[in-house]
Copies of this chain bind each other. A is one copy, B any other.
Amino acid sequence: MMITSQAWLWLSILAGAVSVGMAGYLYAWVNRQDPGSERAREVATWIREGATSYLRRLYSALGLLALALGVVIAIVFSLDIENLGLRTLQFDPSRGAVVAVAYVFGALCSSLAGYMGMSVAVAANVRTATAADDGLGPAFRVSFLGGAVMGLATVGIAVLGMSTIFMLTHDPEIVLGFSFGASGLALLAKAGGGIYTKTADIAADLVGKVEVGIPEDDPRNPAVIADNVGDNVGDVAGTGADIFDSYVASSVAVMLLGATVFSGNAVEQLRYTVFPLVLCTLGIVASILGLQFVRVSEGGKPGAALNRGTVVTCIIFAALATVVVWAGGYNLGALLATLAGLIAGVLIGFTSDYFTSPGQSPVTNTARVSGSGAAINIIMGFSYGLVSIVPSLIGIALSTLLSYTVAQHFGLSGVYGVGVAAVGMLSISGMIVSADAYGPIVDNARGIAEMAGMRHEIIEISDELDSAGNTAKAITKGFSISAAALTVLALFAAYAEVVAARGVELTISLRDPLVVAGTLLGAMTPPLFSALTMLSVTGNAFAMIEEIRRQFRERPAILEGKEMPDYAKCVGLAAQDALKSLIIPALLAVVFPVLIGLVLGPEALGGFLGGSIFTGVIFALFMANAGGLWDNAKKYIEAGAYGGVGSEAHKASVVGDTVGDPFKDTAGPSLNTLITVMSLVSSLFAPVIAVFHLL
């Protein structure tokens, strides 16, 4: 049975709608669960209000920015560049407007996915804690289905948006506008959330634990709510926006490549331009089926259940893709590239896990030397973090070569194969995001249980749920960074194709000094970006520390537990400072590449993108893994090894963990979004840059 491309577009819209519908259904289900005692509900309300107020501020600030950039896009894409002396370009005001609308629509969709995920997270957290009263199984069910709302909403909205735009315009460059809107917002949501969460975390810890000696999550700490809000805005909203962005960008890259490399044959062109949406559709079906396999009975293992879900989803997806490619008469190379990406993604995810797993030698060695002080703990974790990039980089290099070669072997374009591998990797995002969003929900549930003074068994159950969340998170990180790498490699190819279509044949040769200069500047950008976000964290944390000290000083009754601290003040401060800190990084991501392209030319911009991919991937992996390793080395000691809690080794491991916090939660996670945004902005402005260069 052959399904036409038009029919596939309708099917993908349907799949998107079903996914969003299911997310809505689960959202309602979560909300129907018991919200628990009055005290628990009160704590949950503070968190919910803090999180929503931050998101509202973020979105209104970013909304203005998006509108302003939309106007720029509308103007640039309306320029009648042909009259400036160019060949085949067809620009007109209506096209400008359409690209701008797609851009704003992308930003809106990305916000919506983040907002839905966060709304359910701040409802699921307290309900998970309450359900833990009935045991592990029910608590896991509430938290995982809460995560699934995020997973299904993310992929559903993404596919709905892309399919609708393509259905209406049949022009992948307009879908590119949508993708840029989504990624630009994702970058700021991710970086802003990352700064917010670690600002609050570090400030709360430094004054609370170190200066006045109250435990973590103690309600007397004025920053405690900001800390819990941070988990939601950083982890849930940020990660959702992040995967949304890679998911859309990889599909768009393949659509662009499909439209250019098959330009000789209109039917084939349409088939292979729509092919990524076909894969997304199958991925949604596989994820929805896979979610059914994630169940934990009493005494079961939550981590095993999450992994089971991922593996089942992969198998279903692979089977579906095989059937569709065979029955639909697609090129076999496309199937093999898809599977190469999928398998590489899973393997990379699981090998990353080795470097951060409590039982493996990187973590145990780091824990072991901690008895000799914080410095050794940090040198070890730092070194293992650098070693941890090796399997992923080899995996990315191999999957690039493999997908390129198989695609070419079967007569497809090689770069199209690389793009399809990225889409293959990301096709199971529905499941991956569900497992990932589960983490902060159980983390928050633990915090609420503590603050609301629930009984000890509940906190133990939360701890067990939490440790499964950490493993899922490690796998997701390796997975999403590798997927971003393949995505930007495909976008990179798409960039060159878009420029070539404007009559500038790019040779991005490392023997050209302009390319070398561009590559050096590109390679410099990701480390600079991470440094700027981390300096914001330390700077903002010190502002908040002053505020916490002020509250303790001016109202001593707070520390005696007789008076409520002013939580809202800290929540507001964290939000305001995080937003301010985004200005320079945002300029770096959007303005710098365009500037390089205009001043040094499109070849140098090609080098710039290449350079940013190489160091972006390296720093993203290194920071994520080193952070995870330090965290687990501390937990390993806390579980009783090398002297346990209170020993010198433990003190040292706490320092390592604190260093790792902004690595893994602020600087690292933004980097894959950064390189995606820079690639998208380059592809989007490629026609203008090419034209400027030809003038």
Could you tell me which A residues sit within 8 Å of B by CB distance? 202, 206, 210, 369, 372-376, 378-380, 382-387, 389-390, 393-394, 396-398, 400-401, 404-405, 414-415, 418, 489, 492-493, 496, 506-511, 513-517, 519-521, 523-524, 527-528, 530-532, 534-535, 537-538, 541-542, 545, 606-607, 610-611, 614-615, 617-618, 622, 654-656, 658-659, 662
Contact = CB atoms under 8 A, between A and B. Distances in A.
A496 B390 CA distance: 27
A379 B657 CA distance: 11
Q: Quick one: copies of this chain in the complex? A: 2
Nearest to A396: B520
Nearest to A398: B517
A379 B394 CA distance: 29
A521 B386 contact: no
A414 B513 contact: yes
A493 B400 CA distance: 26
A509 B496 CA distance: 12
A333 to B, nearest CB: 14
A436 B397 CA distance: 40
A520 to B, nearest CB: 5
Contact of A523 (B400, B418, B532, B615): B615
Contacts of A614: 519-520, 523, 611, 614-615
Contact of A607 (B380, B510, B611): B510
Question: Which 9 A/B pairs are nearest by Cβ-Cβ distance?
Answer: A375-B658, A386-B531, A397-B517, A404-B513, A383-B531, A523-B614, A508-B510, A510-B610, A383-B534
Contacts of A519: 610, 614
B534 A382 contact: yes
Given A375-B655, A383-B534, A506 B511 contact: yes
A376 B538 CA distance: 7
A384 to B, nearest CB: 7
Given A524-B389, A524-B390, A379 B530 contact: no
Please classify the interface of chain A as helix (H, G, I), strand (E, B), loop, or mixed, using the class held by over half of its residues.
helix
Given A206-B372, A373-B206, A523 B618 contact: yes
B615 A535 contact: no
Given A511-B496, A514-B401, A655-B655, A527 B618 contact: yes
A667 B673 CA distance: 29
Contacts of A545: 372
A501 to B, nearest CB: 15
Contacts of A611: 614
Nearest to A399: B517
Nearest to A534: B383
Given A513-B418, A659-B375, A386 B527 contact: yes
A534 B400 contact: no
A380 B530 contact: no
A537 B379 contact: yes
A527 B489 contact: no
Given A372-B545, A387-B535, A418-B513, 18 more contacts: A372-B542, A374-B655, A378-B378, A379-B659, A380-B535, A382-B659, A389-B524, A390-B524, A400-B520, A404-B513, A415-B513, A493-B511, A511-B606, A520-B614, A523-B618, A524-B618, A527-B618, A611-B614
5 contacts: A383-B531, A390-B528, A394-B524, A401-B513, A614-B614
A396 B369 CA distance: 39
B383 A538 contact: yes
A660 to B, nearest CB: 9
Contacts of A618: 523-524, 527, 615
Nearest to A533: B383
B397 A527 contact: no
Contacts of A658: 373, 375-376, 379
A656 to B, nearest CB: 8
Contacts of A607: 510
Contact of A538 (B369, B390, B398, B492): B369
A625 to B, nearest CB: 12
A330 to B, nearest CB: 21
Nearest to A513: B404
A377 to B, nearest CB: 9
Nearest to A529: B386
Contacts of A397: 516-517, 520-521
Contacts of A401: 513-514, 517
Contacts of A514: 401
A202 B377 CA distance: 13
A599 B415 CA distance: 21
Contacts of A542: 369, 372
Contacts of A615: 523, 614-615, 618
